[in-house]
Amino acid sequence: MLCFQGISVDYGTGGDTVHALADASLCVERGTVLALIGASGTGKSTLLRVGAGLLRPAAGTVTSNGAPIDARSMRIGFLPQNYGLLAWKTVRENILLGVQIKGEWRAERRSAFTELAADLGLTDLLERYPHELSGGQQQRVGLARVFLLAPDLLLMDEPFSALDTITRESMQEVFLSLWKKHAVTTVLVTHYVEEALTLAGRIAVMGGRPGHVIELIDNPFAGDPAYRFSPEFFAMGQELRAKIAGGGV
């Protein structure tokens, strides 16, 4: 179980201080997906950066089974909003970047690499550069990189937001099939209600200024894109939209 407990974050100092988060708390069960959803500016990206260890909170803790987490005790895969691809490196080099930084490119990873590239439809694109790829293909490279790391925790910031609707929905399905194979504990930021309902077993609605978690919801529709067409899914989407618009104020 991974828990964010009483997280507060301020940006800047003095009169320019922005209180981004105040007392944000939530827990993620191991081997599940949790979605952070909420209006723009409610601190979703900030909370994810705290989880990734990129930002130290003014107050609060992030723990795994009660022990504080850090990059040494836990392998964290972070997929930023722009996929974090390097323009001057090929697809192959971009995928390998994560494990190479960790100094772990060994023979046993080779078969994992080949399998991931095949699963993500990248086998014929390995020698291309990012600018020679569509948005959906770039996104697949980002996914291949983080899944090759075999992280204990996967953090994704609006991973599919830059894609058109059709590509986004097909990438959600690609993610689900990868995720079912690897079952990595995942926190995913999204501002699409349908994306949260399709991917995440638990949904944290963020709101307020400063931001915090205003509600945690169990979602029965996660893992099966076929629910997208059911009236119950639609109704729950409407309910979520209302909570987000309410924003805890």
64 strand-pairing partners: 2, 67
What does DSSP assign to residue 211? B
Which of 2, 4, 7, 20 is in the footprint of ligand ADP by CB under 6 A?
A: 20
* Residue whose C-alpha is closest to residue 24's, from 1, 42, 2: 42
Work out whether 42 is an interface residue with ligand ADP (CB under 6 A): yes
3 strand-pairing partners: 27, 63
Q: Which residues bind Mg ion (CB under 5 A)?
A: 45
Place of tokens 């309910």: 239
Q: Site size for ligand ADP, by CB under 6 A?
A: 12
Q: Which does 18 bind (CB under 5 to 8 A by kind): ligand ADP, Mg ion, none?
A: ligand ADP
Which of 8, 44, 168, 243 is in the footprint of ligand ADP by CB under 6 A?
A: 44
Work out whether 145 is an interface residue with ligand ADP (CB under 6 A): no
Which of 24, 35, 43, 116 is in the footprint of ligand ADP by CB under 6 A?
A: 43
Q: Is 231 exposed, middle or buried (0-12, 13-18, 19+ CB in 10 A)?
A: exposed
One DSSP character per residue, 62-83 reads EEETTEEP-TTTS-EEEE-TTT
d(CA 77, CA 45): 15
Work out whether 57 is an interface residue with ligand ADP (CB under 6 A): no
d(CA 156, CA 139): 11
Q: Which stretch binds ligand ADP (CB under 6 A): 35-43, 90-98, 105-113, 178-186?
A: 35-43
Which CB atom, from 69 or from 206, has the smaller least distance to Mg ion? 206
Q: 152 by DSSP, 3-state: which?
A: coil
Work out whether 196 is an interface residue with ligand ADP (CB under 6 A): no
Work out whether 60 is an interface residue with ligand ADP (CB under 6 A): no
Work out whether 41 is an interface residue with ligand ADP (CB under 6 A): yes
- Gyration radius (Cα) of the chain, Å: 18
First to last CA, the chain: 29
d(CA 223, CA 125): 28
Q: Which does 1 bind (CB under 5 to 8 A by kind): ligand ADP, Mg ion, none?
A: none
Q: Which stretch binds ligand ADP (CB under 6 A): 37-45, 140-148, 214-222, 232-240?
A: 37-45
Work out whether 12 is an interface residue with ligand ADP (CB under 6 A): yes
Q: Which does 111 bind (CB under 5 to 8 A by kind): ligand ADP, Mg ion, none?
A: none
Residues lying near ligand ADP in the complex (CB under 6 A) are found at 11-12, 18, 20, 38, 40-46
